[in-house]
């Protein structure tokens, strides 16, 4: 069994090193990503063929470096590639230095209007400034911010939002609409391009899914910079997840989006988890365990719901890409197991079937079901790690 695990793990890694997912031989699953230029946010590449990064934003006072770092660490553990912190005042940019130094992931400083905060944030080591150059005043100020970004290796994100469109565009278009968002984005971009600064990405967010999606489609056609996608103010955990999945799902499926943030009125860790689940659902990232499970019904031969809950909780620490099917009975169990790395199908008379790499492997009884599946997944994760250690260093894993 261990040998089969290692062989399978080596096969998967070999495929990932080629830079394309050759396991995806089903063309109906292919997503052609929009070609964008690539920028760097610290050591994370955004755009081009870089994996779509997942980001979130802290909601602690940034001036409280310890509390902010605690949240950043939890988000990073959940898989965040980038974290944004707001910098509304000097105390925040003062704390930023410590935050940047101790953060495990690059930090994006969120600036509104106060160009001095941008200068301070760049100096403090922010990897990226979220700032709209058209909102910070004179051309000299824009030049100063660009110089600070260049001097300190910062990229920028222009963040257009349907709720805070420029007055002249509201007068021109009557209300926030896709063309208005795109025009605003291109205006801010032109201020950077005019000064030969091109290390920026753009977002055109709105809380209305139709507006945001149409604006992103328009922007994707109009410019080649990387796009940060999100549905802003999407709502609480459940409603916001659904809304974001519809909006971002549409965009990602169309190949649009180089970095994503799911905005939820919830713990930033939840934003990261939801973001990753979206990307995993579309085969765009492969981090961690993906559980395929049935809703259960009276045919279930073990308690599917509580088993899945416990398995997901206990396997949250696994980063290796592993698929697991947990299915209550033979109606759908064998079929789903064929497509997953590890499968459990409920069997009659307390005999359940375990599948490995799609093949029926052994049976087991109730009692230790969850422990058994957790152990199998952890073994496989170890095998993948061992196989990785045996290979040359891999860059840019999905
Ligand atoms: S797989 Fe079996 S237990 Fe699960 S929902 Fe379908 S019929 Fe019910």
Q: Could you tell me the residue ranges of all domains in the chain?
A: 34-281, 288-390
Spacing, Cα 325 to ligand 1 middle (Å): 12
Residues 6+ apart with CB under 8 A from 71: 58, 59, 60, 268
* Position 36 confidence tier, pLDDT thresholds 50, 70, 90: very high
* Whole-prediction pTM: 0.88
Ligand 1 atom closest to 297 (CA) = 8
CB 342 within 8 A of CB 364: no
Mean pLDDT (whole number) for 115-122: 96
Spacing, Cα 295 to ligand 1 middle (Å): 7
**Is residue 390 over pLDDT 90?**
no
Structure-token match 């400083």, residue found:
109
Spacing, Cα 379 to ligand 1 middle (Å): 27
Ligand 1 atom closest to 328 (CA) = 3
**Is residue 178 over pLDDT 60?**
yes
Spacing, Cα 358 to ligand 1 middle (Å): 19
Q: How many CA atoms lie within 13 A of 58 on its CB side?
A: 31
Buried b (16+ CB within 10 A) or exposed e, 75-110: bbebbbbbbbbbbbeeebbebbbebbeebebbbbbb
Rounded mean pLDDT of the chain?
91
Query: Taking each helix axis from N to C terminus, what angle separates 178-193 and 209-222, rounded to the nearest 10 degrees?
Result: 40
DSSP-based three-state secondary structure for 144:
helix
**Is residue 7 over pLDDT 70?**
no
pLDDT score, position 393: 55
Mean pLDDT (whole number) for 62-71: 98
**Is residue 160 over pLDDT 90?**
yes
* Position 19 confidence tier, pLDDT thresholds 50, 70, 90: very low
The distance in angstroms from the start CA to the end CA of the chain is 27
Ligand 1 pocket test target in 298, 300, 325 with most atoms within 8 Å of CB: 300
Q: How far apart are the C-alpha atoms of 205 and 211, rounded to whole Å?
A: 8
pLDDT score, position 365: 81
Ligand 1 pocket test target in 292, 299, 335, 336 with most atoms within 8 Å of CB: 299
Which residues form ligand 1's pocket by a CB distance below 6 Å? 294-297, 299-300, 327-329, 331-332
Spacing, Cα 293 to ligand 1 middle (Å): 9
CB 160 within 8 A of CB 185: yes
Q: How far apart are the C-alpha atoms of 270 and 280, rounded to whole Å?
A: 15
pLDDT score, position 395: 46
Q: Tokens representing 58?
A: 């802290």
Spacing, Cα 310 to ligand 1 middle (Å): 19
Write the pLDDT tens digit of every residue in 344-383.
Answer: 999 988 789 999 999 999 999 877 899 999 999 999 999 9
Instruction: Specify whether domain 288-390 bears CATH 3.40.710.10.
Output: no
How far is CA 300 from each of CA 9, 153, 326, 359, rounded to the nearest angstrom?
Answer: 31, 56, 11, 21
Write the pLDDT tens digit of every residue in 213-240.
Answer: 999 999 999 999 999 999 998 889 999 9
pLDDT more than 90, % of the chain: 82
Q: How far apart are the C-alpha atoms of 200 and 38, rounded to whole Å?
A: 9
pLDDT score, position 124: 97
CATH topology (fold) of 34-281: TIM Barrel (3.20.20)
Same fold, 34-281 and 288-390: no
CB 204 within 8 A of CB 216: yes
Spacing of C-alpha 180 from chain mean position: 27
Write the pLDDT tens digit of every residue in 270-319.
Answer: 999 999 999 999 999 988 999 999 999 999 999 999 999 999 999 999 99
Residues 6+ apart with CB under 8 A from 395: none
């Amino acid at each position: 069994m261990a040998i089969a695990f290692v062989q399978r793990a080596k096969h998967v890694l070999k495929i990932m090193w080629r830079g394309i997912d050759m396991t995806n031989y089903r063309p109906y699953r292919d997503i052609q990503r929009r070609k964008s230029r690539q920028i760097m946010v610290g050591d994370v590449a955004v755009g081009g063929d870089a994996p779509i990064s997942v980001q979130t934003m802290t909601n602690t006072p940034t001036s409280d470096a310890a509390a902010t770092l605690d949240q950043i660490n939890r988000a990073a553990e959940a898989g965040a590639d980038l974290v944004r912190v707001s910098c509304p005042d000097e105390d925040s940019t003062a704390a930023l230095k410590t935050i940047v130094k101790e953060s495990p992931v690059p930090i994006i400083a969120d600036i509104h209007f106060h160009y001095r905060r941008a200068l301070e944030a760049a100096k403090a080591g922010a990897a990226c400034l979220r700032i709209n150059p058209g909102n910070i005043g004179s051309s000299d100020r824009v030049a100063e911010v660009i110089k600070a970004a260049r001097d300190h290796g910062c990229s920028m994100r222009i963040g257009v939002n349907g709720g805070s469109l420029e007055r002249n565009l509201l007068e021109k278009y009557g209300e926030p609409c896709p063309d208005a968002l795109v025009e605003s984005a291109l205006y801010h971009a032109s201020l950077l391009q005019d000064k030969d600064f091109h290390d920026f990405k753009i977002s055109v967010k709105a809380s209305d899914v139709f507006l945001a999606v149409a604006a992103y489609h328009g922007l994707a056609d109009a410019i080649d910079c990387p796009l940060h996608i999100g549905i802003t103010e999407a709502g609480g955990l459940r409603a916001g997840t659904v809304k974001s999945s519809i909006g971002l799902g549409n965009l990602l499926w169309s190949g649009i989006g180089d970095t994503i943030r799911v905005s939820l009125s919830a713990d930033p860790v939840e934003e990261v988890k939801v973001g990753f689940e979206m990307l995993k659902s579309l085969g765009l990232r492969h981090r961690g365990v993906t559980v395929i499970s049935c809703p259960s019904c009276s045919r279930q031969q073990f308690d599917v719901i509580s088993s899945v809950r416990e398995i997901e909780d206990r396997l949250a620490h696994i980063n290796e890409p592993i698929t697991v099917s947990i299915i209550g009975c033979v109606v759908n169990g064998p079929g789903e197991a064929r497509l997953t790395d590890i499968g459990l199908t409920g069997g009659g008379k307390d005999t359940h079937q375990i599948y490995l790499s799609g093949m029926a492997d052994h049976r087991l009884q109730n009692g230790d079901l969850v422990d058994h599946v957790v152990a199998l997944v952890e073994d496989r994760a170890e095998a993948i790690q061992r196989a990785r250690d045996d290979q040359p260093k891999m860059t840019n894993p999905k």
